[in-house]
């Protein structure tokens, strides 16, 4: 893992957006894995700015989002799909048919997960995946537990994770769905490159456990230690315990 500590979140976001833009220039058909949450917001803002200046062209790229709440239709304002529409998809030249997303309203969760894994495999897997990290060490919605699952799967969200996502639901944690669909650790670990961002003091313990702790399903992000090309980009607060 290559750890880089930035002076500010904004500096990390600008660097990350430039890194993604360079990857798209090198391979216009780049398969990009994308997260939601507060962490990547500035990256999306920077990517949109690059696109507006003609410095990012994603017309031949394709994206797979990491996860989605289960039981929510894509058009629900709280869904990750809506978040991505607001902050990225509607602001760049990514063709609709190149956007891949788990459908939180699919009646059969297992079939939906199998469809998504098959679509990702057909696209050749992720070239570059951008990740955040939960305060409990989760990546995407792979929550800490006794074991981890490699394929895309349905997951029960922990209390801490539902609280952390309350912002999408008017700060009312009781409105956060109880379940989600998520890419498994398999697709994430098979990505050709991983860039994980973490900002703020609330992420310091999870970052330290990910970088220096044992590889354990109790901290799903610790499995990234097994990957050969992981950039961990943090601000001073998130890097405080490393």
For ligand GLP, the binding residues (CB under 6 A) are 35-39, 66-67, 132-134, 140-141, 161, 164-165
Tell me how far, at minimum, the Cβ of 157 lies from ligand GLP, in Å.
8
Tell me how far, at minimum, the Cβ of 131 lies from ligand GLP, in Å.
6
The radius of gyration of the chain from alpha carbons, rounded to an integer in Å, stands at 17
Nearer CB in complex with ligand GLP: 52/102? 102
* 179 included as an active-site residue: no
130: three-class secondary structure by DSSP: strand
Can you list the positions of beta strands (E) in the chain? 2-6, 31-34, 62-65, 67-70, 99-100, 128-131, 153-156, 179-182, 193-198, 230-235
Tell me how far, at minimum, the Cβ of 101 lies from ligand GLP, in Å.
13
Catalytically annotated residue among 136, 142, 153, 165: 136
Nearer CB in complex with ligand GLP: 51/142? 142
How would you write 158-212 as a 3-class SS string?
CHHHHHHCHHHHCCCHHHCCCEEEECCHHHHHCCCEEEEEECCHHHHHHHHHHHH
* 138 included as an active-site residue: yes
DSSP state of 44: H
Distance, CA of 47 to CA of 57 (rounded, Å): 10
Tell me how far, at minimum, the Cβ of 218 lies from ligand GLP, in Å.
17
Nearer CB in complex with ligand GLP: 135/151? 135
Q: Token digits for 188?
A: 């994430």
Catalytically annotated residue among 9, 42, 68, 138: 138
Catalytically annotated residue among 9, 127, 143, 235: 143
* 19 included as an active-site residue: no
Nearer CB in complex with ligand GLP: 101/141? 141
Q: Write out the catalytic residue numbers.
A: 67, 136, 138, 143
């Amino acid at each position: 893992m290559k750890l880089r500590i930035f002076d500010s979140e904004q500096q990390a976001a600008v660097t990350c957006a430039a890194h993604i833009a360079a990857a798209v220039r090198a391979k216009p058909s780049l398969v990009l894995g994308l997260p939601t949450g507060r962490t990547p917001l500035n990256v999306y803002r920077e990517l949109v700015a690059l696109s507006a200046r003609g410095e990012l062209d994603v017309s031949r790229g394709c994206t797979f989002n990491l996860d989605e709440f289960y039981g929510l239709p894509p058009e629900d304002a709280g869904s990750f799909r809506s978040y991505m529409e607001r902050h990225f998809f509607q602001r760049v030249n990514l063709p609709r048919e190149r956007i891949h997303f788990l459908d939180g309203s699919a009646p059969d969760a297992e079939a939906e997960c199998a469809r998504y894994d098959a679509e990702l495999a057909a696209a050749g897997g992720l070239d570059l995946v951008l990740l955040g990290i939960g305060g409990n060490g989760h990546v995407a919605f792979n929550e800490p537990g006794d074991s981890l699952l490699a394929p895309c799967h349905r997951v029960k969200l922990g209390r801490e994770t539902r609280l952390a996502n309350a912002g999408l639901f008017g700060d009312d944690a009781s409105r956060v769905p109880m379940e989600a669909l998520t890419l498994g650790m398999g697709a994430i670990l098979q990505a050709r490159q991983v860039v994980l961002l973490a900002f703020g003091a609330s992420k310091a313990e999870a970052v330290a456990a990910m970088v220096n702790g044992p590889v354990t399903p109790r901290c799903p992000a610790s499995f990234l230690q097994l990957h050969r090309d992981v950039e961990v980009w943090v601000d001073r607060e998130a890097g405080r315990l490393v």
